[in-house]
Amino acid sequence: MSPTTDTWPEHLRAITTHTRRGTVKNAFSYSVDFVLIDPDSAVGPLLFGRNRPGLISVQDRAHGGKLGAGRGAAWARDALKIRGLAPDGYRLYLLTQPGFLGHVFNPVSFWLAMRGDDLLAVISEVSTPFNDRHSYLTHLPGFAPISSDVMHKATKRLHVSPFQDVAGDYTFNFAIRSDQIAIRILFRNGAEGVVATLSGPRTRLTNRGILAAALRRPFGTVRTVALIHWQALKLKFKGASWRPRPAPPPKELS
């Protein structure tokens, strides 16, 4: 179901989990705050900045296209139009971890194309600490509604982790409901792989909720980067092999 009709942003108090399979195993679970926004709307609580400063904020330049030089919703709409989704046939939303005091880093954000309660397409926007980005488009033939049991495969194109090869594929699964969101991404390359999930309840974004999140999970996206490096250090100590960063794919979307 799409956000409320007044396009007020929503807060996803989520849990993310990662479970590494294969020779070197590792697993973690963290709480994280995402927002679900109408990218064409500027409304929201005082502490939320939409293309302006705020305790937390979402800036167009952080999404849609090249990392740090994005075009926001215009990029996503162009990508969907090229693939055959009529511009007047859906509403677009962005699920992302907001920036904290101007610092922005999102391992993955999701552009959701909705028609009423139906999910028609998803663009999974993957970004890395190496300043690279690639996006993966999920949709069914004819942009039929994507139910929660649909599994969509995509070939891995981007170097995300120095402990994984750019090989294998992803399997995406989305459950977008009126009260909660659950997303599962399975990466598999032979016996190696990672299962990543993001899930949490949907609530109205408020100043009180923003302050509570800042106290529970200080520093927002700065914390995310620190946790990524901490997990990388753990993998290194466990004996995981380091892969050098190859050149990113020439195309922004696959």
pTM of the model: 0.93
Please report which confidence band the pLDDT of residue 200 belongs to, taking 50, 70 and 90 as the band edges.
very high
Report, as an integer, the average pLDDT of 73-94.
95
The residue count of the chain comes to 254
Please give the residue range of the domain that contains residue 221.
Answer: 12-237
The answer to whether the CB of 112 falls within 8 A of the CB of 125 is: no
Band of the pLDDT at 6, cuts 50, 70, 90?
A: low
- Say if 4 falls within a structural domain: no
Kindly state whether residue 172 falls inside one of the protein's structural domains: yes
Q: Is 236 a residue whose pLDDT tops 80?
A: no
Domain-located, residue 244: no
pLDDT of 228 reads: 80
Q: Is 38 a member of any domain?
A: yes
In a domain, 47, yes or no: yes
Burial class of residue 40 in the structure, from the number of CB atoms within 10 Å of its CB (0-12 exposed, 13-18 middle, 19+ buried): exposed
pLDDT tens column, 24-71: 888 888 899 999 999 999 999 999 999 999 999 999 999 998 888 999
Q: pLDDT band at residue 4, thresholds of 50, 70 and 90? A: very low
How many domains does the chain fold into?
A: 1
Average pLDDT over residues 195-218: 94
Is 174 within the bounds of a domain? yes
Residue 158 lies in a domain: yes
pLDDT at 227 (0 to 100) = 80
pLDDT at 3: 45
Q: Residues of 10-35 as b/e, b for ≥16 C-beta within 10 angstroms?
A: bbbbbebebebbbeeebeeeeebbbb
Mean pLDDT of the chain: 91
In a domain, 98, yes or no: yes
Point out which residues pair with 91 in neighbouring strands.
114
pLDDT digits (tens, 9 = 90+) for 153-179: 999 999 888 888 899 999 999 999 999
Q: What confidence category does residue 219 fall into, taking pLDDT thresholds of 50, 70 and 90?
A: confident
Instruction: Please determine, for residue 218, whether its predicted confidence score (pLDDT) is greater than 60.
Output: yes
